[in-house]
Amino acid sequence: MNQSLFKLHRQFILNKDYATLKTFSDVPTLRSFPLIGHSYLFFPGGKYKAERLTEAFIDISKRLGSIFKLNLGGSNMLITLDPDHTQILFRNEGPKPERPPFPALLHYRKKTFHSSGVVPGNGDEWFKLRQGVTPLLKIQLIAAYKSEQEDIAKTFVHYIKTYRDENNILNDLYSHLLKFTIEETEEIVKASIDFMDGLYTTLMEPPVWKMWKTNGYKKLESSHSTVHSYAQYVKNPEDFKNSQPYMYSLLSNNNLSLEDKIMLAIEVFLGGIDATATTAAFTLYYLARNPEIQEIARTILSLNSALSKNENYFTQAHKYHPQRFVKETRENIHKFASLPFGHGLRILDFAGDSDVGMVFRMNRIPDRPINIKFTNTNH
């Protein structure tokens, strides 16, 4: 059992009245077996599915209580579904919090690239590498990408208009969003999906990959190798000085080795793909299933009839003067000061016949295609 578990059970492995401290061995658990621990619960034909980890933990908590322990992927895990415990945990974790180490990924990276990166690491090495992604937390750096993000959003709106079917439905929204979060070749798209799948599979399965390569380990290895083959050419910070402030900050960091920099670039790249596509897909899905929330989102009113009579935007605004819109005599008018036919997409409808749930691929992703009907109110 690692240090974080010792600290944790000293803090809050308590009974209901918080009067008697228990040992780690007293924490309730299910039957386990040598080598595989509790992984058998998630084997094919087992009680639970690995991709439905949330539902599995909720079910186990009904049997064992809000705090229990499991051995998954060769690691002892203390699991709590009590927010009071969560509060204690995060307030006492210190500057170097320990997380599940993703041992297969750590093993592969150390052996192949001599760098662990932030995701599978812990301790001093993690703390050192974590400084490399600190700039991502600065508002100034995020703001530098604002105009590019707006351009991408506008492009995606146009993309939706183009690729809707005859019923205005964009099928499998998540797959389309992945294209916009990556903007790379199909090879990279597949590698990013395989990486998340392999990472989760090797975490949940017994650590037999130490002796021979499991399918999950092979998927992790090949996908990582594909992405690394692209990222290894990212070396010169001056190439990014004016266009990519984060990459410039990362590559200019003299406290990191070149391989560390490449590894961090890969992690930011892969982490952003899945999280961005999933968040956008489910946001649109929930909006489509809840039209009353769509209405609330549009309580903001830009009164076009008032704007079109405003002298700040039109010369002699109250005068009937259609020549102001004719090409040869056109006035310099704000593009959004007069929109007689409206602008953009307005209404979302869910086009599926059953609810969409979530499955784990490190991040939670849709468990089936999300088909959204985009109704254009322009005429």
- Non-local (6+) Cβ contacts of 2 within 8 A are 76, 98
Is 82 among the domain residues? yes
Last residue of a domain, one of 284, 319, 334: 284
Q: Based on the fold, state whether residues 85 and 14 are members of the same structural domain.
A: yes
Q: Are residues 157 and 271 in the same domain?
A: yes
Q: What is the pLDDT of residue 184?
A: 64
What pLDDT is recorded for position 223?
93
CB within 8 Å of 324: residues ≥ 6 apart: 314, 315, 330, 331, 333
Same domain, 89 and 170: no
Same domain, residue pair 30 and 169: no
- Can you give the pLDDT of all 379 residues of the chain as single tens digits? 455 555 555 555 444 445 566 788 899 999 999 988 998 999 889 999 888 888 999 999 999 999 999 998 778 888 989 888 888 888 888 888 877 678 899 999 999 999 999 888 888 888 888 888 888 778 888 888 888 888 988 999 999 999 999 999 999 999 899 888 876 678 888 898 899 889 888 887 888 888 899 999 999 999 999 999 988 888 889 988 888 888 898 899 988 999 999 999 998 888 888 788 888 998 899 888 888 888 777 675 555 666 677 788 778 877 777 777 777 777 787 777 766 544 554 457 777 777 887 766 666 788 888 898 888 765 4
Query: Same domain for 262 and 310?
Result: no
Please give the structure tokens belonging to residue 74: 């060769």
Residue 236 is which amino acid? N
Instruction: Let me know whether 220 and 186 are in one domain.
Output: yes
Same domain, 152 and 261: yes
Task: Give 200-230 pLDDT, tens digit per residue.
Answer: 888 878 888 888 999 999 999 999 999 999 8
pLDDT of residue 340: 58
Domain assignment present for residue 108? The answer is no
pTM of structure: 0.68
Q: Are residues 274 and 354 in the same domain?
A: no
Q: Give the model confidence (pLDDT) of 287-346 as tens digits.
A: 888 888 887 776 755 556 666 777 887 788 777 777 777 777 777 877 777 665 445 544
The pLDDT of residue 7: 54
197 shares its domain with 240: yes
Q: Which residues constitute the domain of residue 350?
A: 302-376
- Say whether both 134 and 210 belong to one domain: yes
Same domain? For 82 and 182 the reply is no
Same domain, 148 and 256: yes
